[in-house]
Amino acid sequence: MAPTGYLNKNNVLIPLSGVSKAETLYCKENGYYSIYDSDRYGFNNPDYEWDKKNIEYFLIGDSLTQGACVNRPDEISSILRILSNKAVLNLGYGGNGPLLKLASLREYLKVKVNKIVWIHTEATDIYDLNFELQDKILNKYLNDTTFSQNLINKQKEIDKLASFQITEARIKKEAFDIKKNEFNLVKNFKNISSFIKLTNTRTLIISKFIKDKQSTKNNKLNDLDFKKEEFKKILINAKNISQNNDADLYFVFFPSVEHFLKDHDKSKYLQIKRIIEDLDIPFIDLYKEINKNVDDPVLIYPYNKNSGHYGHLTVEGYKIVAEIIFKYTNN
């Protein structure tokens, strides 16, 4: 679900990360709550990675890229650091659709990077894009190649805004679906991601800035209008940014668990693949690779018996994905 901005002195600021240098409690899908120390810009990285002069991998994505529900070194970026023995920056953040990924690339690509890895999440990205395109500020990233909020120099402001929203969320107990003892644990942390019902703190904003999403709230992914031209334009922008920075851009298609079940509609997967190939961007097809190399792909997605829903990835699932990315970016 895409954010639409914070209200701040009659201006709108859309942060792309969380609270900086904070012990961050994330989520529980693999039997434990994942925790990480955020870096100077509020992302899931060891802070010293930003001081390195040459970055091998620059990851763009949503909660999957961020490393949802596992600890370091079990998320994609840490595994790539180990495999490559080189620096990796992870700009993934929960709720990021294609337009927010482009914004992250525009705002934070300020270092020498060799490989930009764009991770597309089938389960949510098309849904997110529909709402991102409703936001005036986010559209500036798409239509104005010079637009920037200068977020890399506004972290104190971002920290203040994000902390305020977290405090508001804590007051509303109905926003937490956790036991009393777990709540006592949560309140000791400065930054919260998955305990908040609305994906992440960026969606907890002044109500007048929230678009009416009710009409499409219950729609299935395949019933949503795929904004193909806008999606293509976003990737053209990303490719241009990559070329201007002498970096190679890779597009990684991460399939939903339904992709491995019978009768899953693969029409949008095929449309996306065609667009990326037409743009001459390397397409890393995790659907085919996982299907080919994993006996039962469904098992790499953690399953919650109580909710009946599948989660992000198991520790083994993250390892498999990172190894595939490494394989195809080193040929």
Whether residue 210 is predicted with pLDDT greater than 60 in this model: the reply is: no
In the prediction, which pLDDT does 259 show? 85
Average pLDDT over the chain, rounded to an integer: 83
Residue 261 in tokens: 């079940």
In the prediction, which pLDDT does 190 show? 53
The model's pLDDT over 303-322, given as tens digits with 9 standing for 90+, comes to: 887 777 889 999 999 999 99
Q: Percentage of the chain surpassing pLDDT 90?
A: 69
What's the CA gap between 137 and 139, in Å, rounded? 5
For residues 282-303, average pLDDT: 94
The model's pLDDT over 72-99, given as tens digits with 9 standing for 90+, comes to: 999 999 999 999 999 999 999 999 999 9
For residues 50-54, average pLDDT: 95
Domains of the chain: 6-328 (3.40.50.1110)
Centroid of chain to Cα 1:
11
- 224's CB contacts (< 8 A; 6+ apart) are 126, 127, 130, 216
Centroid of chain to Cα 210:
20
The model's pLDDT over 225-282, given as tens digits with 9 standing for 90+, comes to: 889 999 999 999 999 999 999 999 999 999 999 888 877 888 899 999 999 999 999 9
Whether residue 162 is predicted with pLDDT greater than 90 in this model: the reply is: no
First to last CA, the chain: 35
